[in-house]
Structure 1
Amino acid sequence: MQRKLLALDLLTSHSRPSDPQISPEGDRIAFTLAPVSREGEHPAAAIWVVEAGGGEARQFTGGGEWYDAAPRWSPDGARLAFISDRGRRGERTLYAMPAGGGEALRLFERRGKVSEPAWSPDGRYLAFLYTDPETEEEKRRKEERDDARVRDADYKYTRLWVVDAESRAASPVSPEGRQVWGYAWAPDSERLAINTSPAPLANGLFEETEVSVVPRSGGGPEPVFRLVGAARDLVWSPDGRYLAYRARAGRVVNGDYVHRVPAGGGDPECLTPDYRGTGAHLSRLGDSLLLLAHEGLHAAFYRLGWDGRMERMLKGVRGKVVAPVTADREGKRIAAIRQDAAHPPDVYAGGIGGSGLLRRTRLNPELEAAGLGAAEPVRWESDAGVEVEGLLVQPAGYEEGRRYPLVVQAHGGPNWLWQDQFCAGWHDWAQVLASRGYAVLLPNPRGSTGYGPEFTNANFMDVGGGELRDIMSGVDAMVGRGLADPDRLGICGWSWGGYLAAWAITQTERFRAAVVGAGPSNLISDNSLGDIPSANLSFFERTPYDDPDPYYERSPIRYVGNVKTPTLILHGEEDERVSVAESIQLYVALRSLGIETQLVTYPREGHRIEERKHQLDLLRRMAGWFERFLGD
């Protein structure tokens, strides 16, 4: 049977929606539409609007020349604020324009970077996060090459500012020397809650942060409480007495529970102590809260009362829903970005009392017409009776009773999960491979979120252990049902998925090909070279400086002498999350041992590969590697 290949040019040139914002009246949805890759130095994006009741989406701003994003409706629905770099490419600032269209008015004149705007409830002010640009002295030193850098010094802090939407008078309201990670307006428009840490480093989100309340007009912060990790999605109660937020569950990085705390200070109280899913986004829903959660392969919605009562909403929703989710003023209708294995992300809307969400855009019909494989949920039993779930993407044109080459793609995290999602991008390869005749298994092994805290915490002091046993038992299950060819098995992944791919080939010779993307190979060096070392304390009892043995024992480099599998290694050269040195270590070791291997690095790229030609190159190499070693 002739297969229809999923074109890699199409995968790297289409656009995807994000950040859906429903209007206060619930009749319109503004969203950002941006290419999945970029051609030049700066990314581009535009704001689009679609009727919540249905109709054609229309472009509201931009023409592809600049970056317009983060649309925010004013409380009366008359204006739309957004960020843009139309004044100077690469420097995003704050604009507003009439909701019916017209000229965009710049509201903030300082150079630098603006993000996360939010209107005050009374519609008079806009708050936003602002990061200072380089100073003239810093530019001069760079030009003169007198620019020595001191690590963990000379920070550029992100602070909270407020601007008057009419006079355009602006001022900072958060204290100097504190990094603001998130904030929320109080119902009276006179105060804001902020979550801050001492240093503007990603690692700060895994250390102690503080929630405090600052006056809009300026003044010192009033501390509310401190916690380990971030207080995500701050929301005020309608009476201004409480703050709700998501926070990590014990050691789990992404296994969030919902808490509330008195806004005047006090002890936090968990509102969802017995919930088995994973909170993914928290927002206002009328006088209640709306919780978007992960429950295995699918999204789930709950109305959450300030007293902790939970009510399942929109029970018919399946697939993956990406945060944020927004509700209208009355809490009757919501907007979201949804996807599943057969449908790329689109804008959806639905009444909160209904059974599901209705699709309101069809932004990439050509992707749906491509050679996609059908997806099905699969479950199997691992060691000690552990039940494991995953998604199986069948090869396009699948024929019952025929065996196919099987590729396992491990997810990142490790506290993350695969859902019923559209896997066809620069780092999620299931449909790319399915269109080329492979079956692809997307497992959610121990350590994954969405299955309860015990399951998520199961890889504490056992990274790679139960995870790999769950993966291999999944492979056995696919072989046992007659789908997978046991002699043509591959494994791949990006980030922590790259780690699991590297770890797997040091522990078994069953895989005939592997692709390792931006994965740590030495957990001791990764702790020093990556930007979130404190995250390791979610998986290990102590740091590698106090107790290095557990880190080394679970490092692929420790057992690299066992590898027989041909391995392609891919990495961005400017990656701060997982240093490219991790891939270099693995490559040098494999090459020295005479293993078929190749290391490909991408200049100017970080943990994400963003330039279009780099994405194309990566996808071609990945597909070519598996074709070379698993093909007929």
Structure 2
Amino acid sequence: MKPYLTMEEIISIPRLSEPAVSEDGCKMAWVETTTDWDKNEYPEHVQVYDTRTETKITLETGSASSNSPAWSITNRLAWLGLRDGLGQIFVLAEGKPIQVTSIKTGVISFQWAPDGEGIYFIAPDLKCQEAFEKRKELYGDFSYAERDRTWNSLYFTKIGSDEDLIKANSTPKDLRPEDQEPERKLLGDENHHVLGFAVSPDSRSIATIAAPGSDAEAKEDAKVYLFDMPTSELKELPVPKPLDNSGMVLFSPDGNKICYGKPINEGKWLNVTTLEILDLRSGDVSRPLIDLDECTFPVRWSDKGLVFTIQRRTDYYVYMIDNEGKIVPLLDKPGTVSLSAAVTQKGDSLATLTATRDKPFEIYLNGKAVTNQTRYYDSKTLSHKEVVTWQSKDGTEIEGILITPPDLDEKKTHPLLVVVHGGPTWAAFPTPTSNLYYPYEQFVERGFILLDVNYRGSSGYGDSFRKLNYRNLGIGDYEDVISGVDMLVEKGLADRERVGIMGWSQGGYISAMCATYSTRFKAVSVGAGISNWYTYYVNTDITPFTRHYLGDTPWNDPEIYAKTSPITYIRKASTPTLIQHGDQDPRVPYPNAKELYRGLKDKGVPVELVTFKGMGHNPKKPGFHRAIMKQNFAWFCHYLLGE
């Protein structure tokens, strides 16, 4: 039998993202993230592929990071590259990367002007940052909670011809013509933190979504505006709150309509969001995709129609609303997962990042793969992945991915590991293994079977399913998990006495709940998980999340915070627990790990707390991913296999 992928091989497989296709359909660009073990980092670089010559080049900008490739209407390529730790825009001119911005706050995102002669971009406001730097210089470094307002602004920079860019790049700044000097601020202030924007086809108007601040609370009050370029007038459009939190907005090709995302029903974070279209002339509003009952993610409003992606259970498809309002499938073959897409303005070329049940994620152009990720898997034995369903305690149908050896012996029972994804609005997909937290392939090789659960609240199953964990976090999730375990035990596949569970973020929270709320598990791994909703509420960077899922603040409804917190059940805990957490985590702050650790330790429960120094909510270094994998492998092999 061929060997399974090792942990190091999984981490070393390049990861692809952000496909972009040139307007003539002849070139592709995407981001490839590789692994540098010596520097302990993940360099990411833009790749450019020419379909005519079938050749690929890597864009080098002298930094460890380049991303966000975008083609102009005239087939010029721009991207973001790091300079002194900040993102700056580069343009490919006659095969050479030329830096075209040098804003001190760094660029967050950008778009080409419709005519291809300039670039609009979002950046932290320069004057705002300068004011804070001046205060720091005078008094030292301090901040006022919720009073120190920061915001992003929208800027424009003119882009000359390739010849002009090369000439300017070789000329001292003080000798360059004024029209080649940098960026011009268009809009943004303390009451208008720019989240996203779109430029009208005639470049006379900019539709923008802006909030009265940059924190999660302020984003709840984001509004849609129209900025008139000739007069610099900013006009609020008649779009009731709330919006989705993506900041996405698009213009129709004729410039008469815009679209943006709106949550349906109550407008909570757990609700499905749909596309809403506003006619700028009549004021009419429509929601053409409301009946799809799942989040839709717009790609582009092309001349042929509005292209979008949508998750359907464990598949991800690409569709289009054509100019007659009909929903047309562009890529909806069962078993495909297309996580991102790009389309030309004419709508005649489609690029996707797509995986299937037996093929890893590749970049495709009009259905043809232009990458070859399969070479990393071809010489290996791969685990078998199958979609399974079962009923939870309340009768809700739950789906998950059963992961087994390809030659599974169904006549014997096996140690079972449950995997719980984060989110909660995300899902597990039956695609070849690429998980960097848990060594699926090594576990399978060692004799485990795994169940990756799409518990209530997961994406892809409609609005009603998403809302099932409202004021029911942890409790309903536990029932979904344990009913899946029971299903495999009843089938004779899983050993009831050898079951473990592991997860990161929301998955870590559910794992923590299983460690204290239940005695059914032999071992647990909690990655960046919540242990106490009180602690989380007052420390996280997304405070509204808690209110949206639990329905109130801990001061008004302490009972629901206690009911759904793993720490509440610590007195009956007995399950050996591995806790992995970054000490710089802003999303699930580190005190959550310390509380769970101290509670289990005081109870005499076997517990290990691993603190990753300088790490945020997710690891950014291959060494950390390797350590996390190895620690989990050792933990479960010890407690479930006795090693």
TM > 0.5 fold call = yes
The question of whether the paired residues in 2 share the 8 Å contact of 1:464 and 1:554 is answered with yes
More displaced stretch, 106-115 vs 606-615: 106-115
- Aligned letter for 2:155? W
Q: Counterpart in 2 of 1:543?
A: 553
Summarize the alignment of residues 374-385 of structure 1 with structure 2, pairs less than 5 Å apart: 374-385=384-395
Tell me how far apart the structure 2 counterparts of residues 266 and 121 of structure 1 sit (CA, whole Å). Answer: 24
Q: Secondary structure at the match of 2:108?
A: strand
Q: Structure 1 pair 471/603, CA: closer, same or farther in 2 (3 Å)?
A: same
Q: One-letter code of the match for 2:186?
A: V
Shift of 1:424: 3.1
Where 1:610 maps in the other structure, the secondary structure is coil
- Tell me the equivalent position of 2:485: 475
- Contact in 2 for aligned 1:190/1:215 (Cα 8 Å): yes
- Shift of the 264–198 alpha-carbon distance from structure 1 to 2, 3 Å rule, reads farther
Quote the residue 1:520 is aligned against: 530
Judge conservation of contact 1:45–1:66 (CA < 8 Å) in 2.
yes
**Contact persistence 1:97–1:103 (CA under 8 A):** yes
Q: Distance in 1 between matches of 2:440 and 2:214?
A: 36
The aligned runs of 1:112-127 (5 Å cut-off) are 112-127=105-120
Change (3 A) 1:419 1:248: farther
* Residue aligning to 1:354: none
Bigger shift: residues 364-373 or 432-441: 364-373
TM alignment of 1:106-255, pairs within 5 A: 106-132=99-125, 146-166=140-160, 167-168=179-180, 169-177=182-190, 178-205=192-219, 207-216=220-229, 219-224=232-237, 225-228=239-242, 229-230=244-245, 232-249=247-264, 250-253=267-270, 255=272
Assess if the C-alpha contact under 8 Å between 1:193 and 1:212 holds in 2: yes
Q: Which amino acid aligns with 2:16?
A: P
Larger CA deviation: 538-547 vs 37-46: 37-46
Deviation of 1:541 after TM superposition, in Å, equals 2.2
Q: Please say which of residues 131-140 and 313-322 is displaced more in the overlay.
A: 131-140
RMSD: 2.7
Structure 1 residues 204 and 364: alpha-carbon distance in aligned structure 2, compared to 1, 3 A threshold? farther
How far apart are residue 558 of structure 1 and its match? 0.5
| Residue 168 of structure 2: aligned partner | none
Structure 1 unaligned regions, length at least 5: 351-356
Q: Is the 8 A contact 1:160 1:174 kept in 2?
A: yes
1:490–1:630 Cα contact (<8 Å) kept: yes
Question: Following superposition of structure 1 onto structure 2, how do residues 323-402 of structure 1 map, counting pairs within 5 Å?
Answer: 323=340, 325-340=341-356, 342-350=358-366, 357-363=367-373, 365-395=375-405, 397-402=407-412
Moved more, 391-400 or 598-607: 391-400
Q: Supply the AA of the counterpart residue of 2:491.
A: R
Distance 1:437 1:558, change over 3 A: same
SS in 1 for 2:248: strand
The change in CA–CA distance for 1:66 and 1:231 in structure 2 (over 3 A counts) is closer
Deviation readout 1:473-494 (Å, 9 max, x if unpaired): 1111112222212111010111
Alignment of 1:410-559 (within 5 A): 410-427=420-437, 429-559=439-569
Indicate if the aligned counterparts of 2:42 and 2:621 stay in contact, CA closer than 8 A. no
CA-CA distance at 1:148 after TM superposition: 2.4
1:60 aligns with 2:75: no
Residues 125 and 165, structure 1, Cα contact 8 Å, conserved in 2 = yes
SS for the counterpart of 1:274 is: helix
Query: Structure 1 residues 630, 41: CA separation in 2 closer, same or farther (over 3 Å shift)?
Result: closer
Aligned partner of residue 574 in structure 1, secondary structure:
coil
Structure 1 residues 8 and 462, CA gap change in structure 2 (3 angstroms): same
What amino acid maps onto 2:263 in structure 1?
Answer: R
Aligned equivalents of 1:181, 1:430: Cα separation in 2: 37
Instruction: In structure 2, give the amino acid aligned to 1:358.
Output: K
* Residues 196 and 248 in structure 2, CA contact (< 8 A), matched pair in contact too: yes
How much has 1:371 moved relative to structure 2?
Answer: 4.1
**Which amino acid is the alignment partner of residue 90 of structure 2?**
Y
8 Å Cα contact 2:61/2:81 also seen in 1: no
Whether 1:73 aligns to 2:87 is no
Equivalences, count: 617
Of stretches 148-157 and 89-98 in structure 1, the one that deviates more from structure 2 is 148-157
Partner of 2:174: none
Residues 306 and 584 of structure 1: CA distance in aligned 2, closer, same or farther (over 3 Å): farther
Query: Structure 2 vs 1, CA of residues 381 and 557 (structure 1 numbering), >3 Å: closer, same or farther?
Result: same
Residue 353 (structure 1) aligns with: none
Q: CA deviation at 1:338?
A: 1.8
Distance 1:545 1:433 in 2: 44
Question: Would you say the 8 A contact 2:499–2:520 is kept in 1?
Answer: yes
Q: Which deviations, in whole Å up to 9, do the C-alpha atoms of 1:314-354 show, x marking residues without a partner?
A: 2326332223x11123212211112346444321222xxxx
Q: CA deviation at 1:601?
A: 1.1
Residue 108 and residue 514 in structure 1: after superposition, are their counterparts in 2 closer, same or farther (change >3 A)?
same
AA aligned to 1:570 is Q
* Contact 2:438–2:628 (CA under 8 A) maintained in structure 1: no
Among 90, 93, 118, the residue aligned to 1:95: 90
- Determine the C-alpha separation between the residues in 2 that align with 1:541 and 1:112: 37
Q: Would the alpha carbon gap of residues 440 and 203 (structure 1) be closer, same or farther in structure 2, given more than 3 Å must change?
A: farther
**Cα separation, partners in 2 of 1:203 and 1:28, compared to 1, 3 Å:** farther
- Aligned partner of residue 291 in structure 2, secondary structure: coil
Choose the corresponding residue for 2:329, options 305, 312, 316.
Answer: 312
Percent identity, please.
Answer: 26
- Cα deviation, 1:340-377, whole Å, max 9, x if unaligned, reads 46444321222xxxxxx332201462245344211111
Distance 1:165 1:370, change over 3 A: same
Say if 1:254 and 1:438 are closer, same or farther in 2 by CA, change over 3 A.
farther
Amino acid in structure 2 at the alignment position of 1:339: A
1:548-606: CA deviation from partner (whole Å, max 9, x where unpaired): 21111110000111211110001111110110111110010000000000111111111
Amino acid at match of 1:157: W
What is the CA deviation profile of residues 497-542 of structure 1, one whole-angstrom value per residue up to 9, with x for unaligned ones?
Answer: 1111111222221110110011111112111111111112332222
User: CA 1:432/1:75 → structure 2, altered by over 3 Å: closer, same or farther?
Assistant: farther
Give the AA of the match of 1:233: M
What is the match of residue 572 of structure 1?
582
Mapped pair 1:277 → 2:274: no
One-letter amino acid of the counterpart of residue 241, structure 1: N
Structure-2 residue corresponding to 1:31: 30
TM-score (norm 2): 0.89
Counterpart Cα distance in 1 of 2:422 and 2:516:
19
Amino acid at match of 1:189: S
Q: Tell whether 2:305 aligns with 1:288.
A: yes
Structure 2: runs of 5 or more not aligned: 161-178
Instruction: Report the Cα offset of residue 89 of structure 1.
Output: 2.8
Checking the alignment, whether the CA contact within 8 Å between 1:251 and 1:537 is kept in structure 2 is: no
Distance apart, 1:236 and its partner CA: 1.0
Whichever residue aligns with residue 435 of structure 2, its letter is: G
- In the superposition, the TM-score normalised over structure 1's length comes to 0.91
Kept in 1: contact 2:438–2:629 (CA 8 A): no
Matched residue of 2:241: which SS? Answer: strand
Partner amino acid, structure 1, of 2:236: P
Contact 1:289 1:303 in 2 (8 A): yes
Partner of residue 50, structure 1: 49
**Contact 2:151–2:188 (CA under 8 A) maintained in structure 1:** no
